[in-house]
Amino acid sequence: MKRWGAHVSIVIAAAVIALLVVQVSKKQWQKDVAVDTVDKVIPVTIAAVVQHEFTDDTDAVGTLKARETSLLSPKVAGPVNQVLVDIGDPVVAGEVVIKLDRTNFDLGVKQAQAALAAAQAAIPQADAQFEQAEKEYRRAIELLEEKVIPQSRFDAAEAAFKSAKEAVFYAKAQRDRAKAALETALEHLKDADIRSPIGGTVVERNVEIGQAVAPGSRLLLIVGQTSLNLDVDLPEADIGRLAIGTVALITIDAFPGHEYSGKVTVVNPMVDRKTRTFRVRIEVPNPSGKLVDGMYARVKLSVEKRRSLAVPRDALQRLPGSGTYYVFVVEGNKAHKRTVEISATDNQYAEVTDGLVEDDKVVTSGAGRLQSGMEVNVQDIPNKNETDKSRGTTSQVDRR
């Protein structure tokens, strides 16, 4: 009897549980039906297919080179009295950086000045003697014609005249030589102070105080780095797409995260037959002075601009495991899936080469829940002014 009662209890409990399961399932089914009914119309945002300006880039690497370099060597020999700069010091054009001992040069100037004074003093005496000899010579000509003096006296007067004339020429030549010697002595005295011909920074020093130096000795190396050059080799395919003035963006490994701007100043019109490349020179301003000669640089050049159809990148969908792209195009109140061909992308837009036409409306958000043919509710349409702005922008692209 007890066993029969236990069986009845089990049956009743099972019936109650089954009833509860049926009720819960019914409520869930009703909820799913309600959700499905709501989701039939998907809220989306859209944007128009527009004409957008893309810029193709080409990359290269090179080494920064100072535009001005000066290797300082003495023009005269002598011991070094002072070295006024060291490695890393900035200098300005015309600044004295090394002083040689001036003693011998000062003495040379004084001797040259004395020699010039003596040469100049000799000229008036020679001129007076010449004037006297010239008078006697002309008088001798007259007397010889009148046969008053013998030929020998005339010959003596003529010889004296020629000698006096040569003496004047010699005295003036001596003065000119003395003047040149003085100029040379003054130049040597001036060269005892070695000046930097350019503004820049000292990067090499090979001289010490007391050292005897000779002309041609390598004493200092100074580089001007307010602006640097960057020579890079580009593939020959780019030679017709690059022009002087093209903007270049430069990055330096030593300063990650920083970007420097430059411009093309020289395009070599010759292609190297071995490498099939041509050389381009880029001028890189360096107002901060951080960039220095010899740094490794990476450069990105905008080689070509073009206008073409584009869609916002947010509109692009990609089939998993493939390179096939598609978008949803809104026509009326429905969204239709359409495969597109993409050529290049930038930060905001993708270039479309096939599958769309200008002013097509593509879904930019909400596409994840869409299937082709579904009804959509457009939540927001970018105004015409915002769309037109994109038509005048220029962006650098990644080629695909």
**Residue 277 within any structural domain of the chain:** yes
Please indicate, yes or no, whether residues 310 and 391 belong to a single structural domain of this protein. Answer: yes
Q: Same structural domain for residues 312 and 293?
A: no
Please return the burial class of 260, using the count of CB atoms within 10 Å of its CB with bins 0-12, 13-18 and 19+: buried
Residue at 22 is within a domain = no
Q: Output the domain CATH number for residue 214.
A: 2.40.50.100
How many residues are there in the chain? 400
Q: Residues of the chain with pLDDT > 90: what percent?
A: 48
Number of domains in the chain: 4
Name the pLDDT band for 184 (thresholds 50, 70, 90): very high
For residue 242, what pLDDT band results from cuts at 50, 70 and 90?
A: confident
pLDDT band of residue 20 (cuts 50, 70, 90) is: low
pLDDT mean over 136-144: 87
Question: C-alpha distances in angstroms, 232 versus 69, 239, 353, 372, 399?
Answer: 20, 13, 32, 50, 21
CA atoms within 13 A on the CB side of 377: 7
Residues 106 and 185 in one domain: yes
Coil/strand/helix, residue 188: helix
The CATH number that applies at residue 360 is 2.40.420.20
Together in a domain, 313 and 395? yes
Asked if 158 and 82 sit in the same domain, the reply is: no
**By three-state DSSP, how is residue 354 classified?**
strand
Q: Is the pLDDT of residue 210 over 90?
A: yes
How high is the pLDDT of residue 9? Answer: 57
C-beta of residue 77 within 8 angstroms of C-beta of residue 213: yes
Residue 185 lies in a domain: yes
Nearby residues of 243 by Cβ (< 8 Å), 6 or more positions away: 264, 267
**Is residue 88 in some structural domain?**
yes
Which pLDDT belongs to residue 93? 93
Phi and psi, residue 381, nearest 5°: -115, 120
Higher pLDDT: 15 or 223? It is: 223
- Residues 318 and 299 grouped into a single domain: no
Q: Is 359 exposed, middle or buried (0-12, 13-18, 19+ CB in 10 A)?
A: exposed
Does residue 352 fall inside a structural domain? yes
The tens digit of pLDDT for each residue in 292-322 reads 999 999 999 887 777 889 989 888 988 888 8
Share of the chain above pLDDT 70, in %: 85
Same domain? 96 vs 210: yes
> Nearest to residue 221, comparing CAs of 292, 166, 289, 156?
292
Q: Classify residue 34: in a domain, yes or no.
A: no
Q: Is residue 327 part of a domain?
A: yes
pLDDT band at 347 (very low <50, low <70, confident <90, very high): confident
349-369: average pLDDT:
88
The alpha carbon of 361 is separated from its chain's Cα centroid by a whole number of angstroms, namely 43
Last residue of a domain, one of 248, 273, 303: 303
Domain edge (last residue) among 202, 218, 234: 218
Confidence at 18, pLDDT banded by 50, 70, 90: low
Residues 159 and 278 in one domain: no
Whether pTM exceeds 0.75: no
| Pair 124, 176 in one domain | yes
Provide the domain limits for residue 267: 60-66+222-303
**pLDDT band at residue 172 under the 50/70/90 scheme:** very high
82 and 197 share one domain: yes
Residue 270 lies in a domain: yes
Cα 34 to Cα 26, 30, 31, distances in angstroms: 12, 6, 5
Q: Are residues 49 and 163 in the same domain?
A: no
Among the three residues 303, 320, 346, which one is the final residue of a domain in this structure? 303
One domain for residues 107 and 173: yes
Q: What is the predicted pLDDT for the residue at 383?
A: 47
Q: How far apart are CA 52 and CA 103, in angstroms?
A: 75
Q: For the residues 53-71, what does the mean pLDDT come to?
A: 89
